[in-house]
Structure 1
Amino acid sequence: METTKARKRNTMGKLNGIMLTLAMIAVFCGTASADTLTVCSSGCDYTKIQDAVNNAAVGDTIFVYNGSYTENVDVSKELTLQGEGADVVTVTAASPDDYVFEVTGNYVNISGFTATGTIGPYIYKAGICLINASHCNISDNIASNNYYGIGVGSSNNNTLTNNNASDNKFGGIGLGSSNSNTLQNNTANSNNYYGIDLTCSSGNMLQGNMMSGNRWNFGVVADSLSHYTQNIDTSNTVDGKTVYYWVDQKDKQIPDDAGYVGIVNCTNITVKDLTLTNNTQGVLFAYTENSRIENVSASNNDVGIYMESSDSNTLESNTANSNGIRGICLERSSSNTLQRNNASNNEQRGIDLFCDSSNNMLQSNTVNSNDYFGIVIGPWSCCNTLQSNTASNNRYGIWLSSSSNTLTKNTVNSNDYGTYLSGANNNNITCNWVHNNTNPGFYLTTDYWGDGSTNNNISYNNIIENGGYYEYQFYNDQTDDVDAANNWWGTTDRDIINVSIHDWNDDPSKGNVTYLPILNDPAPCAQIPDETPTFTTTDAVIALQIAVGSREYDPLYDVSGDDRITSLDVLMILQAATGAIRL
C-alpha cells in the first residue's frame, strides 16, 4: 500500500515538473516571438523597412527612427510598425504606381509615419492601404501627396485614429466594401476631390473627423439599405459645420447648423432653409418616406439632392445649381413631388429620374444651362408627369427613354435638341411650347436595345423655329412611323412644314411622319407666343435692297443664319410680317 502511494507521489512530481518546464518554455518562446527590430540609416538592425518586415516574426514590433525612406512596404502578417513620429519619419514611394504601405495581413498596427509619393495613374493607390485586412490599427500618421491618402478595401473591423489625410491628388480617406470600421479624430482637408467617402460599406462608426477644403468633403455611396446604415454622429464636421446622418428617425427637423444631411430609413423628416455645399450629396434621402426638402440651396456638390429608394416625399423651392453630376437625382424612387425647384448650370443633368422611378410629379421646375440634359426620364420610369417646367440652354432639353409618361405645358427652348425620345413609347406629349432649339425640337430614335419610340401622342404643341429656322423641326431617326398631327408649326404653309420634317422623304430607311391635319393657330393649351410681328413689310423691302446690292449689309436681316442676305431672307421676313411665321 505504501509502495503504491509512493509511486503515485513520484508520478505526480514528474508531471508537475514537466508542466513547469513547459510553462517556462512557453514564457521564453513568447518573449522571443515579440522582438523589437529597429530601422535607421545606420547602427540599427536594418536600413530598409521592408527588410525588417520580411525578417520579422509574427507579432514583432518594428521601430523606425527618424529619417527619410524611399520604398514601397508590403505587410502580410501580424506586425506593429512604429515610426518615431510622423513629423520626423517620411516614407516616399519608390514606385509612384504602388502603395507606400500595403497591408494584406490581419492585426497590423501602423503609426508615426508620413506616407507620400503614390501619385501614379491607377485609381485607389494610396499612401496607406488595407486590402482584405481586419483588426488593424492605423493611427497618428500623415498621408499626403498621394492619389488617395488612406484606402480601406474589403477590410473589416479596423480602426483609423488621429490620421491626417490631406493634400492628396484624389481623396483623403476612402472605404470600399468595408464594414464595421472605426474612423475617429481624423483630418481630411484640401484633397482635390473627396475628403472621406464610404462606398458600398456597412456599419462603420465615424466620430470627431474633420473635413474641409475638399471639392466634396463627405458622402456615402451605396446600393442597399445596409450600405447606407452607418453610425455617424454630430462630432463630425465639414467646413466647420455639423454632419447630420440620421438612421431610423421620425418626426424631426434637421437643425440649421448642418453642413451635410443624410437621412436613411426615416419618416416625416424636414430639411429646410439650409445651404449645403461641397459634399458628395448636399442632401441624401435613402429609403425614406413622407419627408420634405424645402428652400435648400444644394450647390457645388457632386449631386445636389439625391434620393434612393425613397417614396412620397416633397421637394419644393430648392436650388440645386452648379453641381458635378446632377442637380436633383431620383433613383428607384416613386410618388414624389418636385415643384418650383431650380436645377441649372450642373455639369451633366438638371433633374434626373435615373431609373425605375415612377409616378412622380415634376411641376414648375427650371432646368437651364446644364451641360448635357435639362430633365431626364430614364429607363423603367413610367407614369411620371412633367408639367409647366422650363428647360432652356441645355444640350438636350428633355430626354425621354421610358413609357407612359405625360409631358404637358412645358417650355423647351434654346437647347441643342428640344425633346429627345429614345425607345420611348406610349407617352402623352401635348400642349408644350418647343421653340428656338438649334437642332430639331423633337427627335425620335431607337434605344440601345433597338426599340423604337412608338405610339406616342405628340399633339397640340407649339413647335416653332427649331432646327435653324425651319430646317428639321421634327426628326424621325427610326424605321417606325410617327404621328405628329394637330400641332402648330409656326406657319400654315404646308410646304414649309413638310421640308422642316425629316422622315422617309429624306431617308427611305426611316419611317414616315404624319403631320396633317395641322393647327391653323397656336395651340391655346400651350404657352402662346407673342403675336406682335417682329418684322414689317418695310423690313422685307430693306432686305430685298440688301439682297440686290443697293443697300449696305445689315446682319439684322440675315434671318436664315447663313451670313448673307438672299431672297430666302426676304421671303421669311415677309411671311413674318404677315404673321405666317415667327422669327
Structure 2
Amino acid sequence: MKALHVLVLLLFFSSCQAKTLTVDAKGSGDALDLEGAISLATDGDSILIMPGNYSGAKVDRSLNITGRPGANLMGSLTVAAPGCRISDIDIIGPEEDSSISLISSGISVNGCNVSSLANAVSIWGDDNRVENCTIASPRAVEIKGAKNAVLASSISGETAVVFNRTWGGRVEGCRISAQRGVVLEVCHDSVVANNTCSGSGMAIVLFASHDNFISGNRLSGQMLSGIDDFHSRGNSHSNNIISGAQVGISLRGSEKCNITGNLCRKNERAGIFVENGSENSLRDNHLSENGNGILLQGSPRNVLVNNSAYENRYGISIRDCGGNRLRNSRLRANLYNLRIDSGQSSTESSNYDFFVQDIDTSNLVDNKSVCYLVGEVDIAVPSDCGFLGLVSCNNISAAGLNISNSSSGVLLVNSTGCRIRGSSIGSSEWGYLLLHCTSCIISDSRAADCVVGFSAEKASSCRLEQDRSINCSEEGFRAGGSQGLAMVDCQARACQWGISLQDSRLCRIQNCSAADIRTDGILLRKSQEISLLDNSAAFCQRGISLAGSNSCSLMDNNASENEMDGISLQQLTAAHLQGNLARHNGQGIFAQSCRDLYLEKNLLEENSRFGLRMSGCQGGKITENSISGNSISGANLVDCKENVLYHNLFQDNGQNAADNGANQWDGGEAVGGNYWSDHPVVGNPSQEARQIAGKGIDRYPFADPWGWR
C-alpha cells in the first residue's frame, strides 16, 4: 500500500514539472516559430530557439527563453508576463517599433544583441534588468518604469539610455558610445555608476531630477559636457573621470548638489562649471589642464573645500556672484590661479556683492596664502600672500608683495584710503585693479608681463606714483570712468598702449613716460578736463593721442621719435597745447575735426612729414610755435576754417605752409603775422604779404625770427 502511494506522488510531480520546448524552423522541434512555442507553454516553462530567423512575438506567460548561436528574432518581442528570462538572442526590431518591450516586472534580458532603427529596448514595467547585452539603435534604451537596471552592456546610438519620470533606476558597468549617453528626465534616487562613455554631445544628463548618484564613470571624447546637471537639486557626482569635453561637469540652475572627488582634465572651458546654481558643495576635486578648473558664473552661496587645480588657464574663477565659501584650495601652476570679478555684468555699485566672498588663508596660491578681506579696517597685510583682495575696506596697507599668475594680483573694490607700496606683480591679467575705490594709493610698485599693469575703474581721487609697467599685452596703465585720478612719475615700457584713460574727467598725468609702445603712448578717449604735464612719449606708433576728449590741457610734454604722430587730436574741442616738443615723428601735431584748439609755444621740428597738419578743424588759435625742419610741410591745413595763425616761426620746412580753406594767417596790422624763412622782408612786421600755397595769405610777415617779442 505504501509503495502505491509513492508511485502516485511520483506520477503527480512528474506531470507538474516545467518542460522545455524547442523552436526550430526546420521542423524538428516543438514549434516552427516562437509564437507557436509560447502558445504551448505554461508559466515556468523554457523555450530553446535553434539557429534561424524567426518573427517576433508577445510573451504573455512567465517563461525562460534562450537562443542558440545564430538564433535571430526579426521583429518586436513584447514581454508582458512577470519574471521572464530572455537570453542569448539576436533581436532585430522593425523600423517603427521597439525591438524588445518589457511591460511587466521582474524580467531579465541577458546576453542579447538588440538593434533597431527606432527604440531598441523599451521598459514600461518595474524592477527589470538588461544585462551583458549589446544594443545599437538611435534611441537605444528607454525606461519609464521604476527600479529598472541596465548592467554591463555595450550601447551605441544617438541616445543610449533615457529614464523618464521614474525612480530607482541603475546604469552600471556599461560601455557607451552615443551623442547623449545616460539621460535622467524628472527622475530621483537613481544610480549611474562605473560606466565608460564617449561621444560628441553629453555623456550624462540630468534634467529636473533630484537625489541621484553619478559615480565612478569614465567620460571622454569631444563632448559638449561630460555631466550636465540642469535645473536639478540634491544630486551627487563623485569620483568620475572626465576629459576632452567643452565642460567636464556642468551644473546649470541646479542647487544643493555634491560634487566630490572627481578628476577633470583637458576640458576646454571648465573642469567644473556652475552657472546660476546655489548651495552646491564642491569637495576634493582634482582639476588640471582645463580652461577653468572651477568656474562659478552667477552662482552664489556655494562651498568649495579641498579642491586642487593645477595647470589650468584659470584655477578657480568666481564671476558675477557673491557669498561663496572657499577653504583649503590648492592652486598651482595655473596661468591665472584665482579670478574674482563681475563677469559680463555692469560694474555699478549695486554689484559690490559679487566680490563679497568668504575666502580665508587656508587657500594657497603657489604655496602662498590668499589674503581676501571684506569690510576690514586698519590692517597691515603680510607681505607673503599669493593674492590680495580688499572689498569695502578702509585704511589697509600692504608693502613688499610679490605675486604672479593671478587674474588680479592686487584687487581693491569699493575701498577707501588703502595703500600698496613697493610691490611686484607679474604674469597676471590685471596687475593692480582698483574698482570704485576712493583715495587709494599705489606707489613704487611694478607690473610686468601682465595683460594690464595698473587699472582704475570708476575710481575717485586715487593716486599712482612712481609705478612701472613693463611688457603688458594691453595697457600699462588704464583708467575708465574715473575722476580726480593722479598718475605721477609712472613709466610704461613695451606695452600695447602705455597710459590709457577712457570716460574719465579731472585727472592728471604728470612726469610720466611711455616708450616702445606698439600703439599709443598716452591715449585719452572720451575723457574731459584732463591735464598732461611734463610727460614723455617716445618710440610709439603715436606719442600722445586724444579722441573725443574735450577741454584737456597738454603742457611741456615731449612726444618725439614716434612712428606716426607726436600728438594726435581727433574730434574734440577746447584743447590747450603749450610748450610741447614733437620732434622726429611722422607728424608733429595732427588735428582732425577739432574746434577751438589753442596751440602755443610748441616746438614741432624735424618730423618726416608735417610739423602741424590740420584737417576739418575750426576756430583754433595757433601762436608762438616753432615749426622747422619738417620734410614735407611745416603747416598743412586741409578743409579748415576760422583758424588764426600768427607769431609762429616757419623755418626750413620742405614747404613752409599750405592751406585750402578759409583761415587767417596773421593777427592784423598791429599784431602782425608769422616769420617765414623763405620770405625775406623788412620790418617787424612788414607790409610785404606772404602768399600761402593754396588760399591763405599772411599780410604782415616778420623779418626776424621771433621779431614780435
TM range (shorter): 0.7 to 0.9
The 2-side partners of 1:348 and 1:439 are apart by 19
- Amino acid of the structure 1 residue aligned with 2:292: G
Residue 209, structure 1, aligned to residue 329, structure 2: yes
Residues 318 and 341 in structure 2, CA contact (< 8 A), matched pair in contact too: yes
> Is the contact made by 1:261 and 1:284 (CA closer than 8 Å) also made in structure 2?
yes
Give the whole-Å Cα distance in 2 for the aligned partners of 1:45 and 1:309.
52
Q: CA deviation at 1:205?
A: 0.5
1:131 aligns with 2:252: yes
Do the aligned partners of residues 512 and 154 (structure 1) sit closer, same or farther apart at CA in structure 2, a change above 3 Å counting?
farther
Out of 429, 445, 450, the residue aligned to residue 302 of structure 1 is 429
Runs (4 or more) in structure 1 with deviation over 6 Å come to 48-52
Output the amino acid matched with 1:462.
L
Amino acid at match of 1:153: E
Partner of 1:181: 302
| TM superposition shift of 1:274 | 1.2
Change (3 A) 1:390 1:113: same
Q: What is the CA deviation profile of residues 150-195 of structure 1, one whole-angstrom value per residue up to 9, with x for unaligned ones?
A: 1011111111111111122x1111011111011111111101x111
Distance in 2, Cα, partners of 1:182 & 1:515: 69
Please give the per-residue CA displacement for 1:22-65, whole angstroms capped at 9, x wherever unaligned.
Answer: xxxxxxx9xxx995856434798663679995478733231413
Question: Which residue of 235, 244, 261 maps to 2:362?
Answer: 235
SS in structure 2 at match of 1:150: strand
Give CA-to-partner distance per residue, 1:377-398, whole Å, 9 cap, x none: 111x111111111111112110
Residue aligning to 2:403: 276
1:163 to 279, 285, 288: 285
Matches of 1:347 and 1:251, distance apart in 2: 35
Asked if the contact 2:438–2:460 (Cα under 8 Å) also holds between the matched residues in 1, the reply is yes
Secondary structure of the structure 2 residue equivalent to 1:227: helix
Match of 1:315 in 2: 442
CA distance in 1, matches of 2:171, 2:604: 86
Mapped partners of 1:215, 1:511: distance in 2: 54
Q: Give 2:589's match in structure 1, choosing from 474, 477, 481.
A: 474
In structure 2, what residue type is equivalent to 1:483? Y
Secondary structure of 1:73 counterpart: strand
2:206 corresponds to 1:80: no
Q: 1:511 to 1:106 in 2, by over 3 A?
A: farther
Structure 2 length normalisation: TM-score? 0.61
Which position in structure 2 is the counterpart of 1:430? 555
Separation (CA, whole Å) in 2 of partners of 1:516 and 1:368: 38
Question: Do structure 1's residue 172 and structure 2's residue 293 form an aligned pair?
Answer: yes
Partners of 1:205 and 1:189 in 2: CA distance = 20
Q: Which runs of 5+ in 2 are unaligned?
A: 1-125, 127-144, 156-169, 607-624, 652-709
Match of 1:92 in 2: 220
Quick one: distance in 1 between partners of 2:406 and 2:263? 23
CA gap 1:460/1:208 in 2 versus in 1, 3 angstroms: same
3-state SS in 2 of match to 1:473: strand
Equivalent residue for 1:417? 542
Corresponding residue to 1:40 among 152, 163, 168: 152
The whole-number CA distance in structure 2 between the counterparts of 1:512 and 1:434 is 27
Q: Distance in 2 between matches of 1:221 and 1:344?
A: 24
Structure number with the higher helix fraction is: 1
Find the partner of 2:647 among 512, 517, 526. 517
The structure-2 alpha-carbon separation of the partners of 1:512 and 1:194, relative to structure 1 and needing over 3 Å to count, comes to farther
Q: Is the 8 A contact 2:604 2:627 kept in 1?
A: no
Check 1:364–1:98 CA distance in 2 against 1; reply closer, same or farther (3 A cut): same
Matched, 1:348 2:471: no
- CA-to-aligned-CA distance 1:395-454 (integer Å, 9 cap, x gap): 211001211111111111111101101001101111111211111111111xxxxxx211
Residue of structure 1 equivalent to 2:275: 153
Match for 1:442 among 553, 567, 572?
567
Cα distance in 2 for partners of 1:309, 1:486 equals 38
- 1:36·1:63 contact (CA, 8 Å) conserved in 2? no
**1:567-582, aligned counterparts within 5 Å?**
none
Aligned partners of 2:277 and 2:300 also within 8 Å:
yes
Structure having greater relative contact order (Cα 8 Å, sep ≥ 6): 1
| One-letter code aligned to 2:372 | Y
Equivalence map 1:110-121=2 (5 Å): 110-118=237-245
Alpha carbons of 1:129 and 1:52: their partners in 2 closer, same or farther (altered >3 Å)?
closer
> Cα distance, 1:335 vs. partner?
0.4
1:482 to partner: Cα distance:
3.2
Letter of the 1:484 counterpart? L
Does structure 2 conserve the Cα–Cα contact (< 8 Å) formed by 1:322 and 1:344?
Answer: yes
The one-letter code of the counterpart of 2:591 is N
Match of 1:385 in 2: 508
Q: Deviations over 1:472-500 (max 9, x none)?
A: 21112225463323212247875646955
Q: What is the deviation of 1:109?
A: 1.3
Q: In the alignment, residue 188 of structure 2 is paired with which amino acid?
A: G
How high is the sequence identity, in percent, across the aligned residues?
Answer: 24
Amino acid at match of 1:190: E
Q: Residue type of the partner of 1:115? A: I
* SS state at 1:100 partner: strand
Structure 1's unaligned 5+ residue stretches are 1-28, 119-124, 446-451, 522-583
The CA distance in 2 between the partners of 1:55 and 1:101, in whole Å, is 11
TM-score, structure 1 as length reference: 0.74
Q: Distance in 2 between matches of 1:183 and 1:444?
A: 51
What secondary structure, in the 3-state scheme, does the structure 2 residue paired with 1:226 have? helix
Q: 1:411 to 1:150 in 2, by over 3 A?
A: same
Instruction: Give the paired residue count.
Output: 461
CA distance in 1, matches of 2:449, 2:171: 56
Distance 1:113 1:318 in 2: 44
In structure 1, the residue matched to 2:265 is 144
Specify the alignment match of 2:340 in structure 1. Answer: 220
Q: Secondary structure in 2 aligned to 1:258?
A: coil
Q: How much has 1:79 moved relative to structure 2?
A: 3.9
Helix, strand or coil: the match of 2:354? helix
- For residues 333 and 171 of structure 2, the distance between their equivalents in structure 1, rounded to whole angstroms, comes to 42
SS in 2 for 1:219: strand
**What is the deviation of 1:126?**
0.7
Q: Deviations over 1:216-239 (max 9, x none)?
A: 000201232100000011111111
- Residue in structure 2 matching 1:244, options 367, 371, 374: 371
Query: Hey, what's the Cα distance between the residues in 2 that align with 1:465 and 1:327?
Result: 28
Of 516, 532, 551 in structure 2, the residue corresponding to residue 407 of structure 1 is 532
Counterparts in 2 of 1:177 and 1:413: CA distance versus 1, 3 Å: same
Residues 269-326 of structure 1 deviation map (CA, whole Å, 9 limit, x = unaligned) = 11110101000000000011111000110111001000000110111000011102x1
Letter in 2 for 1:245: Y
User: Kindly tell me: are residues 178 and 343 of structure 1, through their superposed partners in 2, closer, same or farther at Cα, counting changes over 3 Å?
Assistant: same
Q: Deviations over 1:245-281 (max 9, x none)?
A: 1101111111122001111110111111010100000
The match for 1:461 among 567, 572, 580 is 580
- 8 Å Cα contact 1:501-1:513 kept in structure 2: no
- Distance change in 2, residues 1:201/1:57 (3 Å): closer
SS at match of 1:165: strand
Q: Give 2:261's aligned amino acid.
A: D
Question: Which residue matches 1:547?
Answer: none
